[in-house]
Amino acid sequence: MNIMALLPAFLVILGIVWAVWLIFKRDLLSQNIVKLLMYFLGVIITFIIIGWLVDTFLPQWTLQRLLTAKNSNNVEAIETIGREMWQEAVGGTGTPQPIVITTPGAPAPTLSPAPTPATGEEVPARSQSATLAPGEQAYTVVKGDTLYRISNRFGVSIAAIQQRNGLGTSTNIQAGQVLIIPAP
């Protein structure tokens, strides 16, 4: 049963109870009947105006808020963090996460596509540049990784990782993908 469908019926019943209370408890029958009718007409007009305002502006306002939230990087980050927190709360993967650390002057690791463990398909490296700047690290994504978990591990924001690797606003990463982690 839809509870919200009962709301108009509840409001009508509330109005009737209120009217009965006003008529009999406040002894409005002894007053001028025109005054009584004008009072109730004013109440009805007030309800109609409030209903019109809600019907007209609430859906537009709600739609605007939802579209703003849908296009927001913050909402996507909140969703990712919430999903990650849920995975950690229910047990997660529990597999150790390898970290690739490069030192200045050492040859940069290759960023060629690596096969995914599950399907053997190639996952293209999505970085903007194959060379590492000073302080940057190359990291190979493993099963169970999320941008939130990687950003926490390296102390870098999710947005910085997305920007450095040309991910745009996407939080989709795959096992075997090589990410360049910018310097914190």
Give pLDDT tens digits for 78-116: 878 888 888 878 875 544 444 455 555 555 555 444 444
Q: Under a CB-based contact definition with an 8 Å cutoff, are residues 171 and 109 in contact? A: no
d(CA 111, CA 125): 6
pLDDT given for residue 115 in this prediction: 41
Q: Phi, psi (5° rounding) for residue 138?
A: -100, 135
d(CA 170, CA 145): 14
d(CA 158, CA 142): 17
CATH superfamily entry for domain 73-181: LysM domain (3.10.350.10)
d(CA 174, CA 40): 65
Give pLDDT tens digits for 65-79: 888 877 777 777 787
Q: Is the pLDDT reported for residue 18 higher than 60?
A: yes
Give pLDDT tens digits for 26-55: 666 666 777 777 877 888 888 888 888 888
